[in-house]
A and B are shown apart, each in its own frame.
Chain A
Amino acid sequence: MYDSDKIIPGLIIFVGLMTFPIWSSIGKAEPKPEPKIDTPAINQMVKKQCVEDTHFMKTSHMQMINDWRDKVLRDGERYYTNSRGEKVMMSLQNTCMKCHSNKDKFCDTCHTYTDVKPYCWDCHIQPKGIKQ
């Protein structure tokens, strides 16, 4: 083998970079986020359910609130009829955050875990008692 003084370190660096997720996780527990739903508003509910079914909310809530925003601000529609036929006011602060007033223990747990930083709170007001 030729130039092994350069090629072997190069390969070691390559393998090191490629396996970064493996060795960087050694010794760390796996903290899976657990969004908490014990807020005053939800605790009062008889049947604890979200605007749409849980799987849809989990995967598509960001698209739904984006649609809401467009409907409210562009078409002036303020009410949304969900798949159960209930009328819901389309509002980030007055609907979502009324039930999920524990933003830091709900929205943020998932968002920190998957590294998403919704910029909505640049303008919209967070539920009281939660620091930016």
Chain B
Amino acid sequence: MAMTFSFFAVIAIVVVALIGALSGLHFVFGVILPYAAFAIFLVGFVNKVLNWASSPVPFRIPTTAGQQKTLPWISDSKLDNPTTTIGVIGRMVLEILFFRSLFRNTSTELRSGNLVHGPAKWLWLFALIFHWSFLLIALRHLRLFVEPVPFLIQGIESIDGMLQVGSPPIYISDLLIIAGVTFLFMRRVILPRIKYISLAADFFPLFLIFAIAATGILMRFVFRVDIVGIKTLLVSLANFSPVVPDGIGVIFFIHVALVSALMAYFPFSKLMHMGGVFLSPTRNMANNSRAVRHINPWNYPVKFHHYDEYEDHFRDVMKDAGLPLEKE
């Protein structure tokens, strides 16, 4: 059900864009839609992060995946259990760039009657492949938005195409992203426990990203489009003086509609983990709760009533009742 719904939602976007492009609504699908989607993306993203930032973290909750700093002769794990800001930055870098905590993923299964816990690295590997190729592809697309093309982007472009297979050459990241997204999808279908907890919100982004990659690859190798025309359009979008050249090709508008759907959906979806990973309290806090006092931000000023004051207050009554007093 979740899967069917997501599948047809993506098909619907494709069909709407196809009909729109065929009926000549190039300005709508080439200019208005991307502008609107990008605006929703930026405003929605910032809004979401500000919303998160307005919730306090009541106490330090770093996960401690290594020896804590204690006595000087016990060596502590500086990245997995950081006590300093530098250590936290190191841990965050490992987390964001290399998915350190996913690397620790384990699986538990029954093997010939015994419950065994073992490492499970495939998810980590394919998640890494998927995210890195997504990043490279996004960066590479800057060649179509920026003139002159920045040096760094040229470097990425030539490394990505270094296999020099065919003309235009195959990009390594194209193969990798398809492999990555296929793995992430298959695990939701094949593993019964994962399938059970998968929702439309899990399948839809996978299908959408698959469709984006597929239309991109088709556009490169099968339904060729006028790339110079496309760059003219995209540069003009970046300059806020949009012009849509003729004869770009229908598949381009489908590709753009899918990407626009992704951008507009982003702030309201699980994809916000892109911003969320920076705010994960179990990762971005130093484990220094023994050294530094962390005050719960929503503590209100407590009115204390010490025993001394209590005794002063009730001295007479207590004396009458014969209770022992500290001060007479």
Partner-B contacts on A (CB < 8 A): 1-4, 7, 10-11, 14-15, 18-22, 24-25, 28, 30-33, 55, 58-60, 62-63, 65-66, 110, 112-119
Once A115-B143, A119-B164 are accepted as A-B contacts, the answer to whether A59 and B249 lie under 8 Å apart by CB is yes
Chain A CB within 8 A of B247 CB:
yes
Q: Which residues of A contact B68 (CB under 8 A)?
A: none
Bound state CA distance, A28 and B297, in angstroms?
48
* Nearest CB in chain B: distance from A107 CB, A: 12
Q: Which residues of A contact B226 (CB under 8 A)?
A: 55, 58-59
> Do the beta carbons of A58 and B238 come within 8 Å of each other?
no
Bound state CA distance, A11 and B49, in angstroms?
8
Q: Which residues of B contact A33 (CB under 8 A)?
A: 228
Q: Which residues of B contact A65 (CB under 8 A)?
A: 167
With A7-B53, A25-B238, A59-B249 known, 5 other A-B pairs at CB within 8 A are A25-B239, A113-B228, A113-B231, A114-B228, A119-B164
* Cβ-closest 4 pairs across A and B: A66-B167, A21-B145, A59-B224, A115-B143
> Do the beta carbons of B49 and A31 come within 8 Å of each other?
no
Interface string of B33-56 (1 = CB under 8 A from A): 000000001100110011001111
Q: Which residues of B contact A118 (CB under 8 A)?
A: 167
Bound state CA distance, A57 and B167, in angstroms?
14
Contact of A2 among B53, B145, B147, B168 (CB under 8 A): B53
> Do the beta carbons of A20 and B146 come within 8 Å of each other?
yes
Smallest Cβ-Cβ distance to B240: which chain A residue? A22
Q: Which residues of A contact B231 (CB under 8 A)?
A: 113-114
Show 19 residue pairs from A and B whose CB-CB distance is below 8 angstroms, ordered by the A residue: A2-B56, A11-B49, A18-B42, A19-B42, A20-B142, A20-B146, A22-B240, A28-B147, A30-B147, A33-B228, A55-B247, A59-B227, A62-B168, A63-B168, A63-B224, A112-B148, A115-B149, A115-B153, A116-B168
> Do the beta carbons of B232 and A2 come within 8 Å of each other?
no
> Do the beta carbons of A1 and B54 come within 8 Å of each other?
yes
Q: Count A-B contacts at CB 8 Å.
A: 92
Smallest Cβ-Cβ distance to B164: which chain A residue? A119
Interface residues of chain A: helix, strand, loop or mixed (majority): helix
Query: Residues of B within 8 Å of A, CB-based: how many?
Result: 46
Smallest Cβ-Cβ distance to A34: which chain B residue? B228
> Do the beta carbons of A117 and B158 come within 8 Å of each other?
yes
Partner-A contacts on B (CB < 8 A): 41-42, 45-46, 49-50, 53-57, 142-149, 153-154, 157-158, 164, 166-168, 224-228, 231-232, 234-236, 238-240, 247, 249, 275, 278-279, 297
Bound state CA distance, A115 and B227, in angstroms?
11
Contact of A114 among B55, B143, B166, B279 (CB under 8 A): B143
> Do the beta carbons of A22 and B46 come within 8 Å of each other?
no
Bound state CA distance, A57 and B144, in angstroms?
20
* Nearest CB in chain A: distance from B242 CB, A: 12
* Nearest CB in chain A: distance from B97 CB, A: 16
* Nearest CB in chain B: distance from A14 CB, A: 7
Q: Which residues of A contact B57 (CB under 8 A)?
A: 2
> Do the beta carbons of A7 and B49 come within 8 Å of each other?
yes
* Nearest CB in chain A: distance from B169 CB, A: 8
Q: Which residues of B contact A2 (CB under 8 A)?
A: 53-57, 297
> Do the beta carbons of A30 and B53 come within 8 Å of each other?
no
Bound state CA distance, A20 and B42, in angstroms?
13
Contact of B235 among A4, A15, A30, A115 (CB under 8 A): A30
* Nearest CB in chain B: distance from A103 CB, A: 16
Q: Which residues of B contact A11 (CB under 8 A)?
A: 46, 49-50
Bound state CA distance, A65 and B278, in angstroms?
48
* Nearest CB in chain A: distance from B159 CB, A: 12
> Do the beta carbons of B239 and A115 come within 8 Å of each other?
no
Q: Which residues of A contact B279 (CB under 8 A)?
A: 7
Q: Which residues of B contact A116 (CB under 8 A)?
A: 168
Bound state CA distance, A115 and B230, in angstroms?
13
> Do the beta carbons of A21 and B142 come within 8 Å of each other?
yes
Smallest Cβ-Cβ distance to A12: which chain B residue? B46
